[in-house]
Structure 1
Amino acid sequence: MTTSNIEQRDVSKLTEVEVADLATRLEQDDYDNVFDGLNDWHLLRAIAFQRPILVEPYLYLLDLESFDEA
C-alpha cells in the first residue's frame, strides 16, 4: 500500500499487516512531502473509527481527544 492510493482504499478490506505497515510509516515519519504523511494519518484515523480493534496498538499515533468526533 502506498500513500498515492489512499483515497481508493476500502477500510473494511485492510489487513492487520497493512495497518501495521501504515503505522510503521507514521512512526518513521520519513515522507517525501508532508501530504503523504497527512494522508497516512487520515487513513489510520478512518480505520480507528471504522475498525478500532485494528488500530488499538497504534492509538498513540493519533493523539485523539475524548471529545473528538465522538
Structure 2
Amino acid sequence: MTTLSLTGQDVSGFTQEDVAALAKRLEQDDYTNPFEALKDWHTLRAVAFQRQELAEPYLYLLDIEAYDEA
C-alpha cells in the first residue's frame, strides 16, 4: 500500500481524484502497518480543514464530532 508523503500537510495542490484515492485506501483499510493508516487519516483531516469542499463526501471517515464545551 502506498501512502502520500506530505511535508507540512500542504494540500493546496490536491485534486478530487487525489482525495478520492486517499478515501478509498482508508475505506479498504489494507495497510501493512497502522502508522500508514494514521498518516492517511491525518492527511484527509488536513484536507478537511484546508479544502473542505474536497473532503466533504468523505467526512464520515474522520468521525469528527462537534464538542459542546459549555
**Alpha-carbon displacement from aligned partner over 1:7-55 (angstroms, at most 9, x marks no partner):** 3762000110000000000000000000000000000000000000000
Q: Which residue of 1 aligns with 2:35?
A: 35
Identify the residue that residue 49 of structure 1 maps to in structure 2: 49
Q: Structure 2: where are the runs of 5+ without partners?
A: none
User: TM (normalized to structure 1)?
Assistant: 0.85
Identity over the aligned pairs, expressed in percent? 61
Structure 1 unaligned regions, length at least 5: none
Asked whether the 8 Å contact 1:6–1:39 carries over to 2, the reply is no
Segments of 4+ moved more than 6 angstroms: none
TM-score (norm 2): 0.85
RMSD of aligned C-alpha atoms? 1.5
- Relative to its length, the structure with more helix (as a share) is 1
Larger deviation, residues 5-14 vs 52-61: 5-14
Q: How many residues align?
A: 66
2: CA distance, partners of 1:4 / 1:18 = 9
